[in-house]
Amino acid sequence: MAPLTSLRDFLVLFLVLIPLGEVFASIPRKTVQYDNAKIFRENGSSNYSTMTLREDLGVLFIGARDAVYALDLEDISSKKAGVYWQVSEEQNTSCKSKGKDSMECQNYIKTLQTLHDGRMLVCGTNAYNPTCDYMTYANGTLTLEGKKEEGRGKVPFDPFQRSTSVMVGTELYSATSVNFLGTEQVLQRHSSPAIRTEHRQSWLNKPSFVQLDVVPESVNNLDGDDDKVYMFFSEEAMEFDLPDQIRVSRVARVCKGDLGGQRTLQQKWTSYLKARLDCPVPLEPSLPAIIQDIFLLKDQDWRKSVFYAVFSPQTTTSDLSTVCAFSVADIGKVFSEGRYMTPVTMESETRWVTHTGEEPVPRPGTCMTNAVRDLGIEHSLDLPDKTLQFVRDQPLLEGAVPPLTGGPLLLQRGAKLSVIVVDRVMAEDGEIHHVMFIGTEEGTVQKAVQYAAGDTVIIQETQVFQTLEPIKVLRLSSGTGQLYAGSGSGVVQIPVRDCGRYGSCLDCILARDPYCAWDTTLAACSSVLNLPTGSRNMYQSLKHADASMCPRPVPMKPLTLPFNVGSSIHLPCQPASNLAQVSWHFAKQPLQLRDRYQMLSQDLLIVSALASDAGRYTCQSLEEVKGRLYTRTEAAYILQPTKTLLVLQLSVALLSVLLGVVVLWSVRGHVRLRARIHPAEPGQNNNNNWRTDPGCVPGSEVNNNHTIITIEDMEDNQTARVSVALLSMILGSLMLWNISRDQLSHRVFRMEEGLQDHMSPVNSSSDTVIHMGDI
């Protein structure tokens, strides 16, 4: 294989490795605020980042700053016990004299491991002086035995440097730094004698440790193989010839029975090999995502065990996080059959290329198997120097471990993913589904399901911490069905079977939650735990999301809201699913969103409301699940003008009509009076005669004692009076008509409330539309 000479070559190679057909889910179906979470925090304490579950004791042990707590697994807000381990004033002063601040010069508990006798090994940074002690829990009391011992190599000096550890039998394996500066980092087994990695860049190049775990590969193994300890980490890549250093994700492996070499690699791992671990992001031309956390989903047959890992971008130009799964069998195949990379010097520069020469026998990095024992090699001390020198100089394997599904299970844009745990759930139909709980750097937990059929969907996102703080650790208790999340400020407990959040049959079925099914007897969404498969009164449809069996919903009763003309009206709408599309209707017609009608997220805002805005408004959602379209009413309102306004409108209308009638009556009276005073003569023009009669002067009096009322002024004002009267009558009539129309519309809408929408599938060319009516 030719060396990669540029960043472009690497990116091209990286994109070539991206398979097609990945399953993505970037938006959770439902986002909830967990208001009733059980929380533990204590004043003066912080950094709740170390957790150990003891289901045998019913206790969750929490390692924090200067303290260890024992919490009730059923209710972590109930503290069973606590023990405090603070640094002395002398230690604090010494730490500060070395250039560290007061926050760093505390005792951060980084290791809580259960020993074979039930005691616990507790290790803390202890003001940059790593120290361990033993702890017992009995009769509701935590006690430190005071048998302090050296913690160097078990936990880091720096409390904010990543490290990890695991107990394998009676021996502790740890991956951490072993010096004050944090520059020398090792994978070490604390045995007698201790076995550790070589201090070489080819072994560990500025690593960031993620997780250690053990796989019992000696169980039912016809090859007589050994158990393996796997280490997941990231480091600066050395196999790419690039102008800038990039980080890559790795998996390394050592054998449990490794004793080191006799002359070469004395007290060093003889089985240490490492390979790249990729979770490629499709069509994202950026640097590879970096592993942040991993969880081993164990199976009774260790060959079927699966590592689930979360990856986040290493640059600020990308906001895509991913989840990938890697099978133990695929990782083992890379270590047992993969080709080695070897360093070569080209123009005074060291480059890594594929080793094409002869490989020593037995294979470098191999564990003790029946085939190796047949060569007369019983343990690593018997390995020939040629094999040991080979693995010492070139522990890196070519290529990368492929994801189990060929690509990411999930692709998440936005908040970076930080931690993960996985549960195996048997659904009502007897199928096994994997449920992932994924913590983010914004204090949320996403619930994603990898269905037996192969697709993966984020079904829920829960805001477990009010502040946007990273979730640093997740633990899952299968016995209690509880999830525990730790952050810098506290610990939160949430149930994994929160079926009560699905308030309707439709929501219960469309959520496709393996923990939950619709109980037709109780008419509620209930847990399927311990229920016989195929139970007649429980209904699930995880594969098809078929909610057609749900009972016809009861029509939603609209909420009547009075309003004042000219004011703004806010109508909330919260759909049950984030994946649903929301639309508003007025009088059962789609509402045109323009001018005074605006959308605020899914809510409706009516600006400067008019009397004509009175009526019924409904918020409807449309969601597509597995080829079916479901519509339902999420909210309904009837807007009514306030009664004061109606009375005022009615009064103005009546007064306007009355004014018009009075004016017209007055005009009619004046006309009749004129007709009596100046009767018209046949064939004579009254107006002209009146105007030419010298004795008829406007405003004068005559001698016959009759008052002559002229119509000169009346002619000037008659048109205006008639106009006012007509306009007043028209205005009043219009207002009365508008009021009667609104009241009639209210009666019509109330009549419609009694009607129930039909739920019937309508087949189209490609989709099935199911109208769920007002629910």
Asked, for residue 262, whether it belongs to a domain, the answer is no
Last residue of a domain, one of 506, 539, 572: 539
Are 741 and 665 part of one and the same domain?
A: yes
Number of structural domains in the chain: 3
Continuous H helices in 568-701: 643-677, 686-692
Answer yes or no: do 721 and 587 share one domain. yes
Is 112 within the bounds of a domain?
yes
How many Å apart are CA 134 and CA 132, to the nearest integer?
A: 7
Q: Is the same domain home to 731 and 629?
A: yes
Find residue 494's DSSP bridge partners.
483
Which residues lie below 8 Å from residue 370, measured CB to CB, with a gap of 6+? Answer: 223, 224
745 in the same domain as 614 = yes
Domain assignment present for 741: yes
Same domain flag for 529 and 653: no
DSSP state of 155: B
Are 523 and 575 within one domain? no
Last residue of a domain, one of 539, 560, 593: 539
Q: What is the CATH number of the domain that holds 511?
A: 3.30.1680.10
Residue 723 burial class via C-beta count within 10 angstroms: exposed 0-12, middle 13-18, buried 19 and up? exposed
Q: Quick: pLDDT tens for 170-222.
A: 999 999 999 999 999 999 999 999 999 999 999 999 999 999 999 999 999 99
Predicted local confidence at residue 739, as pLDDT: 55
Phi/psi of residue 94, nearest 5 degrees? -65, -40
With respect to residue 593, please indicate whether it lies within any of the assigned structural domains.
yes
Residues in Cβ contact with 600 at an 8 Å cutoff, skipping those fewer than 6 apart? 570
**Residue 229 domain-assigned?**
no
| pTM for the predicted model, two decimal places | 0.79
CATH for 598: 2.60.40.10
Question: Does residue 5 lie in a domain region?
Answer: no
Contact 667, 718 (CB under 8 A): yes
Q: What pLDDT score does 735 carry?
A: 61
Closest CA to 461 of 436, 474, 478, 444: 444
Low-confidence ranges of the chain (pLDDT < 50): 1-25, 673, 677, 680-711, 714, 742-775
Q: For residue 142, is it within any domain? A: yes
Nearest to 293 by CA among 401, 172, 187, 417: 417
Range of the domain at 529: 497-539
pLDDT of residue 722: 66
Q: What is the 3-state secondary structure (H, E, C) of 173-240?
A: EEEEECCCCCCCEEEEEECCCCEECCCCCCCCCCCEEEEEEEECCCCCCCCCCCCEEEEEEEEECCCC
Structural domain includes residue 18: no
